[in-house]
Amino acid sequence: MLLSLPFCAPISIPGLSVLFGLVITFLGLRIVFGRKPQLPGFILRKEVKFATLEKIVHLGLKLCTRMEKIARPRMEFVRTWPA
């Protein structure tokens, strides 16, 4: 999740998206093929308590619902127009 934070910024930093995108892709492919992600040992040994994870997910859902109210679908007639 930390590697994807630069993609949340409204202004992209040239070159940064390629670097972080490749790292995220390689980590994802390792997980898809059933291999353990190749990360530093201090990160792999880190455990997250369920209560902490639950708070993070709850905060993320609250943020997403607020953003959804702002970015609700607009110009609905364009999507539903038969032509």
Residue 21 CB coordination number (10 Å): 14
Angle at 70 between CA 65 and CA 73, to 5 degrees: 95
pLDDT of residue 9: 65
pLDDT of residue 10: 65
Tens place of pLDDT per residue across the chain (83 aa): 666 766 766 666 777 777 888 888 888 898 899 988 787 888 878 888 999 989 988 988 888 788 777 777 677 777 777 76
pLDDT of residue 50: 92
**H or E segment and range at residue 30:** helix 16-32
Domain range annotation of the chain: 2-73
| Contact between residue 65 and residue 71 where contact means Cβ atoms under 8 Å apart | no
pLDDT of residue 51: 94
